[in-house]
Amino acid sequence: MPTSRLVMHADAAPGYRAPVDSPSSAVTVVVASRNRRSELVESLGHHRQPVILVDNGSTDGTAEAVEQRHPAVQVVRLDRNRGATARNLGVALATTPYVAFADDDSWWEPGALELAARILDGHPRIGLLAARILLGPENEPDPICDLMADSPLPPDPGGYGKPVLGFAACAAVVRRDAFLLAQGFDPVIFFGGEEERLALDLAVAGWQLAYVPEIVVHHHPSLSRGNPEAHQVRITRNNLLTATMRRPWRVVLRQAWRALRAGGVGLRAILAAVPRLPAALAARRRIPGRLEHRLERLEGWQSDHSTACCRRA
């Protein structure tokens, strides 16, 4: 979606207030939330950078509560749930060169975003930094961090950190221009695994993605996260749709076969993907062979790694 369209939509949102420039920071935090008022009001208290909240059509008084408790937060009210694409509006409105994402149950450790800005300042080919995630009050490392830290991908020439081809949205800092040129998060995917297509498009455009464990985010997973089986259906559906948009047909067929073999959850995922297939096909742009090779190498390693972990458990 072109930048101008993103700004137009945000300007039209009821209750919109233009963000205030903050010369003391190069990073804006963008949060998208829906009906998690109490958790959001608490987590926003941890942020020290400018914050833009995109409220995804909440019906629990989220926007009003944030405006009352955190008047410095810029609130964009949407009349309906736009899923992960709500973040696109926040990025388009940001006036800083870099944007960090946070969920309503996550926040950045003090100093983390200043470090991220210094790294991005010094490495102009990096489009995205993935942070280390600490879970809950015990600060347990998220398992995804081990996967990123041990990634078999070779270092990028002149790069920084560990090269990756994926990330968790709540633990990512992006170069704003790179994000907008890659058209942000995808309406076909909507929500759940929305990071994959964006990561691929950033890599196709020549941007480096790096995991830097010194950049830390805290994530206290919400207790109102919905049905785990429904979540798995959504993830499986979106993996199939992302493959349809960017991967070779053999990969699409392989993922569909795996979904069928998974039983009820996989079948529901395939059926849920069918109405979205026309839009996915219209957006299809196969990634270059070199990137596909890197991705398959990474997926093979992750599969072997997961199998080894299961055997040790």
What is the DSSP code (8-state) at residue 70?
-
CATH class of the region 3-219: alpha beta
Q: Are 102 and 136 contacting, i.e. CB atoms less than 8 angstroms apart? A: no
The pLDDT confidence band at residue 122, using thresholds 50, 70 and 90, is: very high
Token code pair at residue 224:
């109102």
- Tell me the C-alpha distance between 34 and 91, whole Å: 18
What average pLDDT does range 272-276 have in this prediction? 98
- The pair of structure tokens assigned to 5 is 């369209």
**Confidence category of residue 306, pLDDT binned at 50, 70, 90:** low
Model pLDDT for residues 8-41, shown as the tens digit of each residue: 233 333 333 333 343 347 999 999 999 999 999 9
Q: Are strands 208-219 and 162-163 parallel, antiparallel or unpaired?
A: antiparallel
Distances (CA, A) of 37 to 5, 64, 182: 29, 9, 31
Condensed to tens digits (0 to 9), the pLDDT of residues 87-120 reads 999 999 999 999 999 999 999 999 999 999 999 9
Give the global pTM: 0.89
- 45 CB-near residues (< 8 Å, 6+ apart): 70
Residue 175 has phi, psi (to 5 degrees) of: -75, 120
Give the residue, 312 or 152, on which the prediction is more confident: 152
* Distance separating alpha carbons of residues 23 and 1, to the nearest angstrom: 28
The pLDDT assigned to 88 comes to 98
70 pLDDT exceeds 50? yes
**Could you tell me which residue, 11 or 177, shows the higher pLDDT?**
177
Q: Between helices 289-312 and 195-204, what is the axis angle to 10°? A: 140
**pLDDT score, position 287:** 98
The C-alpha atoms of residue 135 and residue 57 are separated, in whole angstroms, by 27
- The whole-angstrom distance between residue 41's C-alpha and the CA centroid of its chain comes to 21
Q: What is the pLDDT of residue 51?
A: 98
pLDDT, average across residues 77-82: 96
Domain boundaries, the chain: 3-219, 228-312
